[in-house]
Amino acid sequence: MLYFTAPDPTVGRPMSEVHDTTTINGRRQKDPKGEHVTFSYKSIDHLGRETHVSCHGYVNNAKTLEFREATHASEKPDSTLKRNGKEVWPDNDEIWEAPEVGYGHLS
């Protein structure tokens, strides 16, 4: 399952497992908003700039994945490095194109 909140997502990276940590001001810490899944997407515009946007989908229940809120981070260069030294945007074999029927939003 991948739930996009972008107006016109083109490609996405799979969601994470439910977790309660995030990076705030460069430090990994417990997310004050609670448990969530993390996913990233690109629109056509992002493809040309080699950037993407990451989102958190906050859940009321980690087992049922009942969503309650979504947040978006600022646009980020694909080449940004994670703590493990790998680029944040994965290789092409880890990415799939979102079908149009997969679009949605949280209200």
Stretch 70-74: mean pLDDT: 90
Dihedral angle, C-alpha 53, 55, 92, 104, nearest 10 °: -100
Residues 6 or more apart whose Cβ sits within 8 Å of residue 81: 87, 88
Using CA atoms, how far apart are residues 67 and 69, in angstroms rounded to an integer? 6
The answer to whether the CB of 44 falls within 8 A of the CB of 98 is: no
Using CA atoms, how far apart are residues 69 and 88, in angstroms rounded to an integer? 23
Would the pLDDT of 47 be above 80?
A: yes
pTM score: 0.69
Q: Coil, strand or helix: which one is 102?
A: helix
The answer to whether the CB of 6 falls within 8 A of the CB of 53 is: yes
Q: What is the pLDDT of residue 21?
A: 93
Q: What is the pLDDT of residues 74-92, one digit of tens each?
A: 999 999 888 888 888 877 7
Would the pLDDT of 19 be above 90?
A: yes
Q: What is the pLDDT of residue 100?
A: 53
DSSP string, 29-92: EE-TT--EEEEEEE-HHHHHHTEEEEEEEEEEETTTTEEEEEEEPPPEETTPBPTTSSBSSPPG
Query: Percent of the chain beyond pLDDT 70?
Result: 73
